Structure 1
């Protein structure tokens, strides 16, 4: 498939309705990058990140940072994708998984989404806002599809939250749109936010939980899922790039300590300080933990806890 075909495919959200649609597109894009790139640019400050530069058909655009420790090659993807789908089958049957399977979950999700994002980076500069919106929407859909693969009742939608006076009388309802509404036995059990990055979005996730808890008098779990928190930055050398982080650790600590902690924060491409900092590492984990450890614990948590 040519780059123009890949870009047009990625820009059309209707092309991604099932998990198999993501897998098929990923195969096509990985096959393209084997021989179709103008160049691979190595990050100057964290060398395991690369940037894909397209040729004239992609306006010589340079992609977002790609973590080569997570991003599969075409050959590796073909080997691992069948194991990935089997892992979800095993999980539904209550079987335990090993560290290799955990790593595979992280890397497959990362590769599936980054092939879409990197393809959209070939759009003309004037369409960058459109690309961000499409990429974000498709990541939300991917996470919902994966949760549904696990057997979870998971949708996006609007929650009507009652607002009452001090005497308990209903005044009105206010509406909140959420990326993830996960139910169990008909009851809403988890509210989630799914974003490709926490940039300009971190505050809202914490505030959403605070407002929901105050308005309803409950402690319904709220979780956040992020793909990564890195972006391309220029260096002093021409045509040379590095990466910078978009995560704000001070904000995260402040909201966690002084407002309310979230009930799970998950990343595909987790940053070193999220592993090394005592407070951050307590609250932020890789995305495999959602599927393998936390999901059913959250769903089986008694209402009102």
Structure 2
């Protein structure tokens, strides 16, 4: 058995206290109200990664992905979710620089309002927005994975991803809020039912009352989740029901961080498995309805290589730079249902 020196014990205690501060901040429901809070939090954690005994392990089954292993720090086996090494920024100077460019790009998007002439330079962005968003969220997810309670950590991680995306929408000039709308009950003249929508996106200048109970032209329904696992069914069903009950096409988009998870194959616990339900997605698209778009921050090449998914599954940047503005300015389209 290896004996630990008093100095090593003291340093380990210091690292644990620092990690606990990261955990406490992540769980604080009043934190992360501004984008700069995410920046400071992530910069501090990148610094911590460089000096702490947290181990980075590259996946042997999927080398583009790595994991953080907290065992040397916590003394117990805690391994994070897979992290895409090509998206994740682990250099402090690079992250700080890219974050400032990211904020400038959001301001430019707000001013451009979808005008392609003003947005053409973003074709050279090379995934910068995806990389910054991915780094922020995976740092939050990695700290979440160091917690003892997995249910508590998963819920908070999802809340913070939704909050981050909503702040991005706010920065580009959109309002995002939940809404309960009233829908007509088929085959009746006066009956209505309430239908809850997680997030409705609209341009900031649209003046709506707090009791607004309708979905207007130029508004988008969004579902924001870290993964599509166990959630595709509801998103497609919402779209199908709203189209039929409102008798017009209702724009519905889904935004996901990624669709992968850590897996153990044999004795190897550093493997990666896809959670994207390709066959479910295709059946829903062909037989039920088509979503206006499904957007990933970690957009995997195999999704783009499947011709059946092209035009439906895209990168998150595609939504911000192009699709979002088309949907916001799209006129009502009847479904043809009676």
What TM-score, normalized to structure 1?
A: 0.93
Q: Is the 8 A contact 2:54 2:69 kept in 1?
A: yes
1:11 maps onto 2:35 in alignment: no
1:106-148 Cα offsets, whole Å, 9 max, x none, are 1011111111111010001xx1011111011111111111011
Given the alignment, which residue of 16, 33, 50 partners 1:34? 50
Give the 3 Å change call, closer, same or farther, for CA 255–37 of structure 1 in structure 2. farther
Q: Is the 8 A contact 1:65 1:231 kept in 2?
A: yes
Q: CA deviation at 1:227?
A: 0.1
Q: 1:142-291, aligned counterparts within 5 Å?
A: 142-155=164-177, 157-166=178-187, 169-178=189-198, 180-184=199-203, 185-186=206-207, 187=216, 189-237=219-267, 240-291=269-320
| Residue equivalent to 1:82 | 100
1:31-58 Cα offsets, whole Å, 9 max, x none, are 1112224311111111110000113437
Given the alignment, which residue of 127, 131, 141 partners 2:153? 131
Q: CA deviation at 1:68?
A: 0.6
Q: CA deviation at 1:195?
A: 0.3
Structure 1 segments, 4+ long, off by >4 Å, are: none
Give the 3 Å change call, closer, same or farther, for CA 3–291 of structure 1 in structure 2. same
Q: Is the 8 A contact 1:183 1:190 kept in 2?
A: yes
CA distance in 2, matches of 1:43, 1:256: 33
Give the 3 Å change call, closer, same or farther, for CA 205–216 of structure 1 in structure 2. same
Q: CA deviation at 1:213?
A: 1.2
SS at match of 2:125: helix
Give the 3 Å change call, closer, same or farther, for CA 222–123 of structure 1 in structure 2. same
Count residues with an aligned counterpart. 299
Give the 3 Å change call, closer, same or farther, for CA 281–219 of structure 1 in structure 2. same
CA distance in 2, matches of 1:169, 1:220: 22
| Residue equivalent to 2:5 | none
Q: Is the 8 A contact 1:229 1:246 kept in 2?
A: yes
Q: Is the 8 A contact 1:162 1:170 kept in 2?
A: no
SS at match of 2:30: helix
Given the alignment, which residue of 15, 18, 22 partners 2:38? 22
| Unaligned segments of structure 1, at least 5 residues | none
Q: Is the 8 A contact 1:26 1:115 kept in 2?
A: yes
Bigger Rg, which one = 2
Q: Is the 8 A contact 1:3 1:58 kept in 2?
A: no
Q: CA deviation at 1:70?
A: 0.2
Q: CA deviation at 1:219?
A: 0.8
| Unaligned segments of structure 2, at least 5 residues | 1-16, 113-117, 208-215
1:6-37 Cα offsets, whole Å, 9 max, x none, are 11111223111111222221111111112224
CA distance in 2, matches of 1:110, 1:20: 15
Given the alignment, which residue of 49, 65, 86 partners 2:82? 65
Q: 1:49-60, aligned counterparts within 5 Å?
A: 49-54=65-70, 55-57=72-74, 59-60=76-77
Give the 3 Å change call, closer, same or farther, for CA 63–165 of structure 1 in structure 2. closer
Q: Is the 8 A contact 2:53 2:73 kept in 1?
A: no
